[in-house]
Chain A
Amino acid sequence: MDVDEALRRIIMAAGIVLVLGGGALIFVEDPFPWGITVIIAPGLLALLFAALTVRGRLQGEIVETVMPDPERPPDNERPGDQVDRMLYEMTVLRQGVQENREHLEERMQRLGVAVVQDRRDCSPTEAERVLQSGEWTDNEDAAAFFQSETSAVDEAGFANALTGGRSDIDTFAYQFRVAVEELLRVGEIPAQELEYDSGPDSALGRILQRLGLGSGGSSDDEGDEGVQANWNTADSSIDSFDTDEPFEDVSLHRTNRWLGVTAFALFAVGAGVVTYNPGLMMAGTVGVAYTIYGRITAVPATDQLTVERELETEDAEPGEEVEVLVTVTNESGSMLPDLRMVDAVPDSFVVTDGCPRLHTALRSGASATFSYKVRVERGEHQWPLLCVARDFSGGAERTSLITPESKLTVTPSLKVTNKVPVRAQTTMYSGDINTRQGGPGLEFHSVRDYQNGDPMNRINWKKLAQTGELATIDFRQEKAATVTLLFDTRQSSYVAAEPGEPHAVDHSVHAASDVFGALYDQGNLVGVAAFDTVPCWFSAGAGSEHLEKARMLFAQHPALSPAPPERQNVEGQYIDPMTHVLRRLQSNSQIFMFTPLADDYAMEVASRLDSQGHLVTVMSPDVTTDRTVGQRLTRAERTARVRYLRQRGIRVIDWDTDEQLRLSIDRAKTRWA
């Protein structure tokens, strides 16, 4: 700092001396008492400065706010990304080889055992033996993957890592790929043929981009390949879009965009001095003047900017299209010459029409509007307008967030479009589920002897008339069930097949709002719970107030939010997320569990609940795909989990999210029948 300051003063002093000298020279008769070299030296200095400035400009000293692309859908993880990333780290970056290898081997071992067990109907130990011996397949490479499991790491691991480690890893990766394919084939798990030339490459590119190792170029090049995605905070230079105040200043900085012009000026003056050319020197003054223009700045008065956002409706349903009209008015006394505005539409929204941006200039008192349409997602939303204002020259840039008052509440309707099968475990409340017990009801069940106290309307009068004996008709009793909708909303469930598509939690909640309504209409007591780091519990109940509360819960509870819980890893302080649910769950409650079955934990929860006597129905949206090895492995694992659960007698609705839920339910029902 001191050196900089000293340098500044020296340069400033030199500048003043030169100006004074120049002024003095006007009055001197003979301007060259010291020879021409004295003048050439500063000319060369100017050229040097020009070169330095050009370098600085080319190194990108321009500072400007990076705007998000809120039009785009959120960039959710794809199932299997983790595996692909691990493989990439191992084979390309050569990082964390040992850990990644162990992790992958462990997963493959579990999957292998599950597949072999399923095919051969044998015990786990037997399956392990078959896997180890290689009897399960004819493919030598695939068999070798499981056989080399212990030998490669333990025996040759260290030496290999030192000497031939490279080929060792490549062999591992190759065998891993082959083994995954072979398990898919042996396990008869549906997956399309892998196109090796296009598939892995594009996936690799995506992962590269995600790791920030992409070729640094414009992300637009990716355009023709799949859907582009966006996280408002990750893809912009704004740290947070959450703001409580109507106006918040994010930053005020110089853009340095006139740096190049300074270089022009220095170059022209330097060249003019060196070649002794007054015309060029005068031409240089144009550059000098523009540099000064870029330095003279007035902070744009964006705090006097009022923003009004008109929403077509303030109450919408998820998936609905809502039209938004934004009006910006300049109420400051001065002109705002350069306004760049982006409406920071929430991550879970997608802009379907129009454009949530505007670039304009506003005179004092003038206003401008822009409108767009968004597809909304559940929750209570209020979002800011990101406004970047520059002065005339663009030399200074002020970034602020302006949040209008309008609020958008999106709640699911809980309307019924499907009939949802409930199992025959019931409560003491009357309801819609036919039981085997006789009693009051509608459908004929049996006739029995009259007992004292039987209600008069159930006496079999015909029989009394015929024979004179009293008898009572029993009807089939209809009772209600207690059903708890249980959501798996851990980080691992926020996976989507494609960035444009809803993730598993969205699918779950959409389906659940449907299921909730259906179960409720059938007269059951329905509750909601989620296992997540944020506890979510809503006791089973009935009544319209209950229904309304459930609607708000679906819309607003943080555990069910469409945005993943803090996109970070929280495995450090691990608490079993099911703890709070188990503490409150009624022992006779049926469970409708919504989970993508993305890991073994979800499967364990289902089987644990089943062994505690709950009747469990797992509703599992299938978001797995089959384009990369990791995605294929994840699909195989999920299929193995579904099979395991079905073997244990747990009902699983394997929901192909491309088709309607009703079809999946029907298909699952034929299996149960």
Chain B
Amino acid sequence: MSTQNSDEELTAIEVTHSPTTVSAVLATLAAILAVFASSTSLLAMGLGAFGLVAVVGGLFVFDSERAMAVGTGIVFVGVVLSGILGSSLPLLIMGSFATILAFDIGQNAFSVGRQMSDETETTRGELVHASASLAVGIVIVGVAAVVYIAAFEGLSVSSLAFLLLGAMLLVWVIRQ
């Protein structure tokens, strides 16, 4: 049949579900920032760089969300290690902020990639998500700085620990 033969040339378009580029690039930038924040200690920075490799590999090479998540985890361990080895407070806060951003945006890259496709127009949605996370982070860091300046003098380490742990437990309960 003549009509049918011409139909067969109309093949379906490609559908691929790799992590979206915009978010992947932003997540990588955030991870790099976190690694730099931990650069006060060479050991911590080395660990962070190792995590960065996992993040980049997970996002761009292996399409593996797990590699990305474990990578940001390692970057964060690097940040914490630099803190234990005596990094300054602003650097620590920036490091954890950047790591969490990398984790959130990287995770979003995979999520959007799975639910949408590479051929989809996703830039606007991705940018809105990333900037929302960034804005929230800036507010958080600002509040933390204010609390630090205003109250840290008065707070003993033990009371700070108690307060934080209590808050953690409450958050944990709400989380469920």
Contact = CB atoms under 8 A, between A and B. Distances in A.
Interface in B1-22: 1-8, 10-13, 15-18
Nearest to A267: B80
A291 interface: yes
Given A271-B80, A357-B119, A660-B1, 12 more contacts: A15-B165, A23-B159, A26-B154, A42-B162, A45-B165, A257-B111, A272-B161, A278-B160, A339-B125, A417-B3, A500-B11, A502-B4
B148 A282 contact: yes
B100 A264 contact: yes
B156 A31 contact: yes
A86 B107 CA distance: 41
Given A273-B165, A350-B12, A286 B1 contact: no
B43 interface: no
B28 interface: no
Nearest to B132: A392
Interface of B: prevailing SS = helix
Interface residues of B, number: 90
Contacts of A49: 168, 172
Interface stretch (B44-52, B53-61, B71-79): B71-79
A359 B126 contact: yes
B41 interface: no
Interface residues of A, number: 113
A65 interface: yes
A26 B107 CA distance: 39
Given A64-B114, A500-B12, A15 B121 contact: no
A283 B79 contact: yes
A650 interface: no
24 contacts: A11-B172, A12-B169, A22-B162, A26-B159, A69-B15, A220-B63, A262-B171, A262-B172, A267-B80, A269-B164, A273-B164, A273-B165, A278-B152, A280-B83, A282-B92, A289-B143, A291-B175, A319-B7, A340-B112, A342-B116, A351-B13, A360-B122, A375-B10, A392-B136
Interface of A: 4, 8, 11-12, 14-26, 28, 31-32, 39, 42-43, 45-46, 49, 54, 57-58, 64-67, 69, 71-73, 218, 220, 223, 227-228, 257-258, 260-269, 271-273, 275-293, 295, 317, 319, 321, 337-340, 342, 350-355, 357-361, 370, 375, 388, 392-394, 417-418, 500-502, 510-511, 514, 660-662
Contacts, number: 319
Contacts of A218: 17, 63
Given A25-B156, A352-B10, A510-B4, A279 B88 contact: yes
B11 A42 contact: no
A25 B93 contact: no
Contacts of A292: 171
